[in-house]
Amino acid sequence: MVRLLALIALAGCGAGHYAEAPVGKLSGTVLVMWVGESQAGEGDGRFVYVPSATPLRFQRTNPDATLTTIEPEMMYTDGGSIPALAQVFKGFSPWGYAPAYILHDWLFVARKCVNDGMADPEQAKVAQMPFGESAEVAAEVIKTLITTNTVAPNDVAPGLITAAVAGPVARERWNQKGACARDKVSAAHLEMIERALAVRAGARMAQRGPAAQIVQVIDFGAP
């Protein structure tokens, strides 16, 4: 009961941020693949966001944004590691707001590479973004998903998610160093993804071996 009350209080803290978030525009395709069990043996395994010919893109309308267009590169994504207790709320599931989590995950992947001085040009675009803005992005994407009827409206989940991604644990991860190289998609997983993409395109496999499994595809259309 204490944990449940804490979650409800957390939702209240994030409600203001969500209410103030402007609606943006989502385009492109969300393509997520499962590549195997997680390293720690926890959860449902490891997932990779794979940019397609029409990659996921979020165009922000926030006038204070340090970054107006967000387009993730290939990366591991956990779909928002939702605590089991939080799932008592309707609509609050790990993949319920997948685009929001993927875009938010990307900001952290990019930031860690900025922290380590290893950022590529796309990752370097996050260099001027303060931690608080990363939570604003999550709120903006969730509101965009609900406004466009991509997901059903929910009274609790948006505020709870927004509060969680603005908390001390997220801030610590935002400032983390030494994680850029470690978090890159491994060569073995890249091979699995290439095999899955070849099968999806109808090509004959030249090499045998395990292939990644496509677990989610969402198409938002052209920009």
According to the model, what pLDDT value does residue 208 have? 72
CB 93 within 8 A of CB 82: yes
214 vs 178 pLDDT, higher one: 178
Cα separation of 69 and 83, whole Å?
30
Domain of 193?
A: 2-219
Give the model confidence (pLDDT) of 171-212 as tens digits: 888 999 999 999 999 999 999 999 999 888 877 655 677 889
With a CB cutoff of 8 Å and minimum separation 6, the contacts of 73 are 51, 106, 109, 120, 122, 123
34 forms beta bridges with 47, 213
Which pLDDT band, with edges at 50, 70 and 90, does 13 fall under? very low
Least confident of 2-11, 34-43, 114-123, 160-169: 2-11
> pTM of the prediction?
0.84
Split into its structural domains, the chain has a count of 1
According to the model, what pLDDT value does residue 194 have? 93
Residue 137 has pLDDT above 60, yes or no: yes
According to the model, what pLDDT value does residue 9 have? 43
Give the model confidence (pLDDT) of 65-120 as tens digits: 999 999 999 999 875 544 443 444 444 455 678 898 899 999 999 999 999 999 99
Which pLDDT band, with edges at 50, 70 and 90, does 169 fall under? confident
Count H helices and E strands in the chain, helices first.
7, 7
Give the model confidence (pLDDT) of 144-162 as tens digits: 999 988 877 765 577 777 7
According to the model, what pLDDT value does residue 97 have? 80
Q: Assign residue 211 a region: left if phi > 0, alpha if psi is -120 to 50, beta otherwise? A: beta
